[in-house]
Amino acid sequence: MEKRRMKKLGIDTSLLGFGCMRLPVKDGKIDRERTAAMIDTAYKAGVNYFDTAYPYHGGESELVVGEILKKYDRSTYYLATKLPCWEVHCLDDAKRLLDYQLERLQKDYIDFYLLHALNRNSFREMVSYGVVEYLEEMKAAGKIRYLGFSFHDAFDVFEEIIHYHDWDFCQIQYNYMDRDYQAGERGMDICIEKGIPVILMEPIKGGTLASLPDAVMTGLRAIRPDVSAASWALRFVGSRPIVHVILSGMSNEEQLADNLNTFTGFEPLSEEEEKAVEATAEAIRARVRNGCTGCRYCMPCPNGVDIPRNFSIWNNYGMYENAGSAKWQYGHDLNDSSRANNCLECGACEEACPQHLPIIEHLRMLSEELGNL
C-alpha cells in the first residue's frame, strides 16, 4: 500500500483513504457485516486512514465506523471526522458536538478533525464564535491530534481560510475534470508553499469518472486495456506529490478490490499517460450539448423555466452519458414549473443571451431527450 509522509505532522498515511459516506446498505441501514469485512480487508492491505462525518448515513456512519475500528490497535490507524458547522450557533454547540462525536465513535481522541464544508459565511461564523481557538485548546488537551477543514467555495475564500490559521492539513475537491474548481490547482500550490498536507475528495467526481462512454476511453484503453476508468482518475490525482490521502467512498467489494489494486504498488502517471488523460478530458468536454456558461443573463424566464440549470443537466448528460444521474437531476433538482417543457418560446432569453445560443430550440431538444429517460 502506497504511503505518503506528512512532513508537517511527522506521520505516514496510506494514499488511499477509506471514505465512509457511501457504505453498503441493507434495509435502509448500513450493512454492518459487509462494512466490517470491507474495512478489515482494507486495513489488512495497509489502509490506515478512515474518514467519516457527523451527517453521513443519517448519523449512523460515526457509530458503525467507531465500533468496527475498536478491534484494531488504536495506534495503527488514523480516524477523521468533522464538526458540522451548520449545527454550530455558539461556542457551546461546538463543545457539545465534539464530546458527542467522541462518544459515538467510542474514542478518547480524534486524529483528524475538520471544520466541515467551509464556505465564506460558515468560516466567518466559526471565527466569530472562537471555534478555531477552542479546537486548538482541544488539541492541547489531547482530544484532537490534527486540526483542518474541508472546503466548498470559491478560490478567494480558500485563500482567506488557508492564511487565517496554521492548519495541520486541509481537504479539497480535485479531479482531472475539475482542476480549477473551488480551491483547485492554485489552492494546492499554496499548500505546497506553506507545507500543508492535502487530503483529496471527489477524485472520481462523485463516481462520474468511474463510468465513461466507450468513445472517450479509447486512448486510455490503448495504453492499459484492462485498467478501470476509476483507476485512471485515482492515479491522476495520486501523481501530485502534495496529495497525501485520496478519499474514496467505496460501496461494494468490487470497488474496494479495484482501489487496492491501484494503490498497492502505486504507479504515478507517465508523461504519455498524463497526455492521454488530458486528451480524455478534452474529449469529454467536447461532448457538451451547448455552450451555456451559466451567466444567467437569460433569467428570470417569464414562465419560470430555470434555463441554466436545465442546460447544466443536459450538458453533463452529453459529456458522461450517465442516464441515472441525469434522470435524477431532471426529476428532482428541478420542479415541474422550472423544466424545459414549460418554455412558451417568447424569445426573451435569446435576446439576452451573450453567447447567442438558440435557446428555444435547445430547450425543445433537451426536453425530449431528458424527458425520455
Q: What amino acid occupies position 57? A: H
pLDDT tens per residue, the chain (373 residues)? 999 999 999 999 999 999 999 999 999 999 999 999 999 999 999 999 999 999 999 999 999 999 999 999 999 999 999 999 999 999 999 999 999 999 999 999 999 999 999 999 999 999 999 999 999 999 999 999 999 999 998 999 999 999 999 999 999 999 999 888 888 999 999 999 999 999 999 999 888 898 888 889 999 999 999 999 999 999 999 999 999 999 999 999 999 999 999 999 999 999 999 999 999 999 999 998 998 988 899 999 999 999 999 999 999 899 888 888 899 999 898 999 999 999 999 999 999 998 899 999 999 999 999 988 8
Question: 40: how many CB neighbours lie within 10 A of its CB?
Answer: 13
Q: What is the 3-state secondary structure (H, E, C) of 39-94?
A: HHHHHHCCCCEEECCCCHHHHHHHHHHHHHHCCCCHHHCEEEEEECHHHCCCHHHH
Of residues 177, 168, 221, 165, the one with CA closest to residue 199: 168
Question: 18: how many CB neighbours lie within 10 A of its CB?
Answer: 26
Strand bridging mode 29-30 / 198-201: unpaired
Here the cell at position 59 is 448519523
Here the cell at position 351 is 435576446
What 3-state class would DSSP assign to 235? Answer: helix
pTM: 0.88
Sequence-distant contacts of 364-371: CB under 8 A, at least 24 apart: 364/340, 365/289, 366/289, 366/310, 366/311, 366/313, 366/314, 366/340, 367/339, 367/340, 367/341, 367/343, 369/314, 369/317, 370/313, 370/314, 370/317, 370/326, 370/327, 370/330, 370/340, 371/330, 371/341
What distance in Å separates the CA atoms of residue 356 and residue 67, rounded to the nearest whole number? 57
What distance in Å separates the CA atoms of residue 273 and residue 268, rounded to the nearest whole number? 9
